[in-house]
Chains A and B, each alone.
Chain A
Amino acid sequence: MACRAITIGRANTGIIAAVFVVVVILGPLLAVFWRAGGGAWLVSSDMAAIRFTIWQALLSALISVGLAIPVARALARRKFRGRAVLITLLGAPFILPVIVAVLGLLAVFGRSGILAALLSKFGLPPISIYGLQGVVIAHVFFNLPLATRIILQGWQAIPAERFRLAEMLGFGPREIARTLEYPMLRGALPGAFLIIFAICLSSFAVALTLGGGPRATTIELAIYQAFRFDFDLARAAVLASVQIALVAVVAVLALRVTTGDGMGAGLDRVVHRWDVNTVSSKVLDSAVLLLSTVFLLLPLTMIVLNGIAGLGMMPTAIWAALGRSILVALAATSLTVVLGLAMATASRERGWIDSIGLLGVTVSPMVIGTGLFLLINPWVRPTDVALVVTILVNAVMALPFMLRILTPACRAVETDYGRLADSLGLAGWARLRWLILPRIRRALGFGAGLTAALSMGDLGVVMLFADSENATLPLQMYRLMGAYQMQAAAGAGLVLLMASLLLFWGFDRGGRRDADA
Chain B
Amino acid sequence: MLTLENLELRQDGFALTADITLENRDIVAVIGPSGAGKSTLLNIVAGFTSPDAGKVIWDGVDITANRPAKRPIAMLFQDNNLFGHLTVGQNVALGVRPDMRLNSAQKDRVEQALKRVGLADMGARKPAQLSGGQQSRVALARVLVQRKPLMLLDEPFAALGPALRHEMLDLVAELAGEIGATVLLVSHDPADARRIAKRTILVAQGMAYPPQDTADLLDNPPEALAAYLGT
Within 8 Å by CB of B85, from A419, A423, A516, lies A516
A430 touches B100 (CB 8 A): yes
User: Interface of chain A, helix or strand or loop or mixed?
Assistant: helix
Question: What residues on A are CB-neighbors of B100 within 8 Å?
Answer: 430, 434
Binding stretch for chain B, among A2-10, A225-233, A317-325? A2-10
B23: interface (CB < 8 Å): no
A3 touches B86 (CB 8 A): no
Residue of B with least CB distance to A435? B83
B73: interface (CB < 8 Å): yes
Interface string of B89-133 (1 = CB under 8 A from A): 010001100111000000000000000000000000010100000
Shortest beta-carbon distance, A409 to chain B, in Å? 13
A429 touches B99 (CB 8 A): yes
CA distance A6 to B67 in the complex (A): 6
CA distance A261 to B46 in the complex (A): 39
A517: interface (CB < 8 Å): yes
CA distance A146 to B124 in the complex (A): 44
B-side interface size class: 20 to 34
Interface string of A399-443 (1 = CB under 8 A from B): 000000000000000001101101111110111011100110000
Within 8 Å by CB of A422, from B50, B69, B126, lies B69
Within 8 Å by CB of B99, from A419, A420, A423, A430, lies A430
Shortest beta-carbon distance, A427 to chain B, in Å? 7
Q: A419-B68, A516-B85, A517-B85 are in contact. Are A1 and B43 (CB under 8 A)?
A: yes
Interface centre among B68, B73, B77, B86 (most CB of A within 10 A): B68
Shortest beta-carbon distance, B193 to chain A, in Å? 24
Q: A3-B48, A516-B128 are in contact. Are A439 and B85 (CB under 8 A)?
A: yes
CA distance A335 to B133 in the complex (A): 44
Interface centre among A417, A424, A426, A517 (most CB of B within 10 A): A424
CA distance A427 to B98 in the complex (A): 8
Residue of B with least CB distance to A5? B67
CA distance A439 to B84 in the complex (A): 9
A420 touches B74 (CB 8 A): no
B212: interface (CB < 8 Å): no
B49: interface (CB < 8 Å): yes
Shortest beta-carbon distance, A286 to chain B, in Å? 43
A423 touches B94 (CB 8 A): no
CA distance A235 to B68 in the complex (A): 58
Question: What residues on A are CB-neighbors of B90 within 8 Å?
Answer: 434
A423 touches B98 (CB 8 A): no
Shortest beta-carbon distance, A87 to chain B, in Å? 28
Question: What residues on A are CB-neighbors of B83 within 8 Å?
Answer: 417, 420, 434-435, 438-439
B205: interface (CB < 8 Å): no
Interface string of A14-49 (1 = CB under 8 A from B): 000000000000000000000000000000000000
Within 8 Å by CB of A1, from B49, B69, B85, lies B49
B95 touches A422 (CB 8 A): no
Shortest beta-carbon distance, B15 to chain A, in Å? 15
CA distance A18 to B75 in the complex (A): 34
Question: What residues on B are CB-neighbors of A420 within 8 Å?
Answer: 75, 77, 80-81, 83
Kindly identify, within residues 33 to 64 of chain B, every residue whose CB is under 8 Å from any CB belonging to chain A.
43, 46-50
B126 touches A6 (CB 8 A): no
Question: What residues on A are CB-neighbors of B146 within 8 Å?
Answer: 424
Interface size on A, residues (CB 8 A): 25
Question: What residues on A are CB-neighbors of B74 within 8 Å?
Answer: 423
Question: What residues on B are CB-neighbors of A435 within 8 Å?
Answer: 83
Shortest beta-carbon distance, A249 to chain B, in Å? 36
B98 touches A516 (CB 8 A): no
CA distance A417 to B99 in the complex (A): 16
CA distance A423 to B81 in the complex (A): 11
A517 touches B81 (CB 8 A): no
A424 touches B94 (CB 8 A): yes
CA distance A433 to B69 in the complex (A): 18
CA distance A417 to B94 in the complex (A): 13
Within 8 Å by CB of B94, from A3, A434, A438, lies A434
Question: What residues on A are CB-neighbors of B46 within 8 Å?
Answer: 419, 423
Shortest beta-carbon distance, A134 to chain B, in Å? 49
B126 touches A516 (CB 8 A): yes
Q: A2-B50, A516-B126, A517-B84 are in contact. Are A424 and B67 (CB under 8 A)?
A: no
Shortest beta-carbon distance, B94 to chain A, in Å? 5
Shortest beta-carbon distance, B81 to chain A, in Å? 6
Question: What residues on A are CB-neighbors of B81 within 8 Å?
Answer: 420
CA distance A6 to B50 in the complex (A): 13
Question: What residues on B are CB-neighbors of A416 within 8 Å?
Answer: 80
Residue of B with least CB distance to A6? B67
Q: List 24 A-B contacts (CB under 8 A).
A: A1-B43, A2-B49, A2-B50, A3-B48, A3-B49, A4-B50, A4-B68, A6-B68, A6-B69, A416-B80, A420-B77, A420-B81, A422-B67, A423-B75, A424-B98, A425-B69, A429-B99, A430-B100, A434-B83, A434-B86, A434-B99, A438-B83, A438-B85, A439-B85
Hey, which bits of chain A sit against chain B, CB under 8 A? 1-4, 6, 416-417, 419-420, 422-427, 429-431, 433-435, 438-439, 516-517
Beyond A6-B67, A423-B75, A516-B128, 13 extra complex contacts between A and B, CB < 8 Å = A2-B49, A419-B77, A420-B81, A422-B68, A423-B68, A424-B146, A426-B98, A427-B98, A434-B83, A434-B94, A434-B99, A438-B83, A517-B85
